Amino acid sequence: MTADISLEDRFTVPGRYWHRLDDGRVQCDVCPRECRLHEGQRGLCFVRGRVDDQVVLTSYGRSSGFCVDPIEKKPLNHFLPGSAVLSFGTAGCNLSCRFCQNWDISKSREIDRLSDSAGPDDIAEAAERLGCRSVAMTYNDPTVFLEYAVDVADACRARGIKAVLVTAGHVNDDARRELYAHVDAANVDLKAFTDDFYRRVAAARLQPVLDTLVHLRHETDVWFEITTLLIPGYNDSDAEIDAECAWIADELGTDVPLHFTAFHPDFKMRDVPPTPPATLTRARGIAQRHGLRFVYTGNVHDAEGGRTSCPGCGEVVVERDWYVIGRYRLTDDGRCAACGTAVPGRYDGPVGRWGARRLPVHLATS
């Protein structure tokens, strides 16, 4: 029964968040799924499991591939704009989104699919060599490979490379505190604003995600932006978008960038039509009426929805077309070139010129 999980495996390491239950099972405490495991069982995310009476991570140093992308693709519009980011993921996910756009990775149960392997410093060194300002843990949710993610982030920071998480934010308190203490930026998916959606469509809960956003805003220096994928008929009503934007304005403030992105039919939701561009524009208008100052549309060509305007004088300071930056009127430290008002975010030098390129790279060390 335990044959497929073994601490002898070089990619398997002890997990940090779990405890024993009175009934003989052990409970993984990384995320709100709180999987209760018998010896040899794996959790819902598949990459954590129980062996030798403890919870282990089976994907440390294993990757589903590396790629250099524009940072705008994460999406992060206010974090080292125009720069290249080295992106990677592993396998497995702690949500079960019916609309998952990376389901071949996130729901993979074949560890052999993990084609590349690299230790934390190999990744940081590669990012440096490839001219990337940051490393993003993305494709699947880094929450499930927390121990690896933390070590990658530390190795990056030791070389002056920033660490970025792209996550659903569905994580328990202690694991959350550790994970975000090691990173510089995050894009958090706020998939909807009803618990019903989270339960029915993602097999998860809303509140832990809101807790992550509040933690990021009030207890860390992590730069974060929020993405909501609008799915026709599921989470795109005026009332729901209104409630989400009101909450963001009240709890997080109006400077947090919000991205409304377009759904395209995938995985188990091929019967749902793609999001009309007008839906994204409508959502953007609602957010702006709540005072949110940086609201973007994504996965569409939309000049208006790709712009950043100066919160001081109203001048357009950054124009974007999909992931490509056009006109750029910010100083090296992120101030409006016209009036000097600071635009919230992390800026460090001139805008990058990586453009829309996507460069797959192979990092295998053995």
Among 4, 6, 34, 360, binds ligand SF4 (CB under 6 A): 34
Q: Which is nearer to ligand SF4, 149 or 286 (CB)?
A: 149
Among 26, 35, 56, 67, binds ligand SF4 (CB under 6 A): 35
Binding of ligand SF4 by 30 (CB under 6 A) = yes
Binding of ligand SF4 by 28 (CB under 6 A) = yes
Specify the 3-state DSSP secondary structure of 96. coil
Binding of ligand SF4 by 33 (CB under 6 A) = yes
Contact flags string 109-148 toward ligand SF4, x per CB under 6 A? -----------------------------------x----
Distance of CA 164 to the CA centre of its chain: 8
Total of chain residues touching ligand SF4, rule CB under 6 A: 12
Contact flags string 73-112 toward ligand SF4, x per CB under 6 A? ---------------------x------------------
Q: Which residues contact 222 (CB under 8 A, 6 or more apart)?
A: 180, 183, 184, 185, 186, 216
Binding of ligand SF4 by 163 (CB under 6 A) = no
- Give the number of residues written for the chain: 366
Annotate 330-344 with b (16+ C-beta within 10 A) or e (fewer): beeebbbeeeeeebb
Instruction: Work out how close the CB of 37 gets to ligand SF4 at its nearest, in angstroms, rounded to a whole number.
Output: 7
Tokens of 46: 């598949």
Choices 29-37, 71-79, 105-113, 236-244 (CB under 6 A): range interacting with ligand SF4 = 29-37
Choices 44-52, 247-255, 256-264, 327-335 (CB under 6 A): range interacting with ligand SF4 = 44-52
Q: Which is nearer to ligand SF4, 62 or 78 (CB)?
A: 62
Binding of ligand SF4 by 31 (CB under 6 A) = yes
Residue nearest to ligand SF4 (CB): 43
Q: How far apart are CA 164 and CA 71, in angstroms?
A: 10
Q: Which of 312, 355, 356 is nearest to 330 (CA)?
A: 312
Beta strand extents in 146-275 (DSSP E only): 162-167, 185-189, 223-230, 258-262
Among 48, 78, 191, 346, binds ligand SF4 (CB under 6 A): 48
Q: Which is nearer to ligand SF4, 44 or 243 (CB)?
A: 44
From residue 69, alpha-carbon distances to 84, 172, 345, 355 in Å are: 6, 30, 19, 9
Q: Which is nearer to ligand SF4, 45 or 190 (CB)?
A: 45
Bridge partners of 37?
26
Distance of CA 54 to the CA centre of its chain: 28
Contacts with ligand SF4, residue ranges (CB under 6 A): 28, 30-31, 33-35, 43-45, 48, 94, 144
